[in-house]
Amino acid sequence: MATPYVHPRNRIRDAAVATLRAYFEPEIRVYSTRVSPYMQKDYAGELPGIAVYTLHDVGRVQNVAPRRYERHVELAVEVVISGKARKELIDTNLDDLCRVIEVLLLNEDTLGGTCNDLLYASTVMDFGDQGDPNVGAARIIFDAEYLDYFPTAEQAADLPDLKRVWVDYSLEGKQDDARDQAHQHIEGLSP
C-alpha cells in the first residue's frame, strides 16, 4: 500500500519509467534519476541510455475549500546515444529514439492514472565530440498536469480532532461595533 506522503511527482516519474522499461529493457537501460548514470569511466558500454526525472513544478489553487491545486510538473526524459558506429547517423538515430519515447508516453496520456494529462512540451538536442565515442543527447520535456489535495483523506486521518470553532463576521467590514457583528462559537465538537 502506498504511503499518503509519497509525492505525486514520484508516482508520475515511476509510471513513465515503467512504461519505458517495458519497451526498451534489456537492450536500453532506463534510469529513474537526475544524476547522470553515464559519468562512470566506461560509460560507452552503457549507451544508449535513458534517464527520467522531474524538473520545475508549478501550481495554482483550483478550489479553496477543500484545498485543491492544479499542478504542472516538467517530466524530463534524457536520452544519450553513442556515435561510435556511424557518426553521420547520430542525429537520425537520436530522432528515431526520441520519437519512440514520445509515442510510448503520449499513448498513455495519464501515465496509469498518476496525472490528468501528459503533453509534449519541447526537446533540446546536443552533441559531444570531445570524447571517444562521440555522443548525442536529447532532453524531451513533457508537461504532466495533476491535481493535488491538501490534506488528502489519508493525511486528514492523522490530523488532531476539531474541538472548537470561533467565527466572527462583519458585513464587508462595515460593522465596527462588535454587538452588530455575527458571532458563532462552537465547542465540544470532538471527544
Closest CA to 148 of 72, 68, 74: 68
**Residue 106 located in a structural domain:** yes
**Torsion sign across C-alpha atoms 78, 83, 86, 89:** positive
**Residue 177 located in a structural domain:** no
**Residue 184 located in a structural domain:** no
Range of lowest pLDDT (61-70, 73-82, 91-100, 167-176): 167-176
Q: Which residues pair with 165 in a beta bridge?
A: 186
User: Given this model, what pLDDT does residue 63 score?
Assistant: 87
**Residue 94 located in a structural domain:** yes
Instruction: Give me the amino acid identity at 188.
Output: G
Could you read off the pLDDT of 39-84 as tens digits, one per residue? Answer: 555 665 678 889 999 999 999 999 887 788 999 999 999 999 887 6
pLDDT (average), residues 174-180: 77
**Residue 188 located in a structural domain:** no
Mean pLDDT of the chain: 84
**Residue 160 located in a structural domain:** no
Instruction: Count the domains in the chain.
Output: 1
Q: Is the preceding omega at residue 37 within 30 degrees of 0, hence cis?
A: no
User: Given this model, what pLDDT does residue 1 score?
Assistant: 44
β-bridge pairing 29-31 and 49-63: parallel
**Residue 50 located in a structural domain:** yes
Long-range CB contact pairs, 52-56, < 8 A, 24+ = 52/13, 52/16, 52/17, 52/20, 52/76, 52/77, 52/78, 53/13, 53/78, 54/9, 54/12, 54/13, 55/141
Classify 23 as helix, strand or coil: helix
Residue ranges making up the domain that contains 49: 8-154
Question: What CATH number does residue 38 fall under?
Answer: 3.30.2000.10
**Residue 3 located in a structural domain:** no
